[in-house]
Amino acid sequence: MSSTITRALLSLLFAFSLSGCEQDDGGGGQPGDATDDPLPAGDVPRALVGDWRFGTVSMTTFWDGNVFQGGSGTAAIFRFHDDGSFEEFVYIRQQNYGCVTQVWTSMEGVADFDEGVFRTHLRAGGYKASDTCVERFNFQRPMTPEEVEKSGREYLWALEPGEKLRVFLGEGDAEGSTFERLDD
């Protein structure tokens, strides 16, 4: 995985863990709760409709014959629908000494594709975090309206031979991340 992707994911992990320190307002919201704002219809190329996955596992994750020794890893899924809507799921797991931190992010909205670029416009999203050592970092909450508004992104992309989707976070991301189609 490129260092750009790693930095971006670690920045997200840090931001989500900080924002999770807020107390629940008792509103009952769940990750993925939708806002009332209508979004324009998206435009997804037929070849991209479906589920696409990307993931890494640290080489420190292993079975030593007695116990599973966990390291770190990242997983991401884009799910593009033929009506122009999309879902994105990101999972990050980090183990440091005896502490395990896990972060899940879900987003949904519409995606607009142009030649080599796609933009996401969110309708809803949510965060969940788990930390085995710092209890205040354990939370689950929907994105605030401000976070939904700020979380749309622009990606560079290319469809490669062998059903592979290469996604770049921007022009400075020389390697990108290769997503593979999930079997139906």
Give the lowest-confidence range in 23-27, 59-63, 136-140, 158-162. 23-27
This prediction's pTM: 0.72
Three-class SS state of 61: coil
Lowest mean pLDDT of 115-119, 127-131, 139-143, name the range: 115-119
Check whether 59 has a pLDDT greater than 80. Answer: no
Q: Look at the alpha carbons of 146, 149, 154, 157 in this order and tell me if their dihedral is positive or negative.
A: positive
Residue 45, Cα to own-chain centre: how many angstroms?
21
Q: What is the mean pLDDT of residues 142-157?
A: 94
State what percent of residues in the chain have pLDDT above 70.
Answer: 68
For residue 89, which of 99, 100, 79 has the smallest C-alpha distance? 79
Highest mean pLDDT among 3-12, 34-43, 69-78: 69-78
Average pLDDT score over residue span 60-65 = 56
| 109/40 Cα distance (integer angstroms) | 10
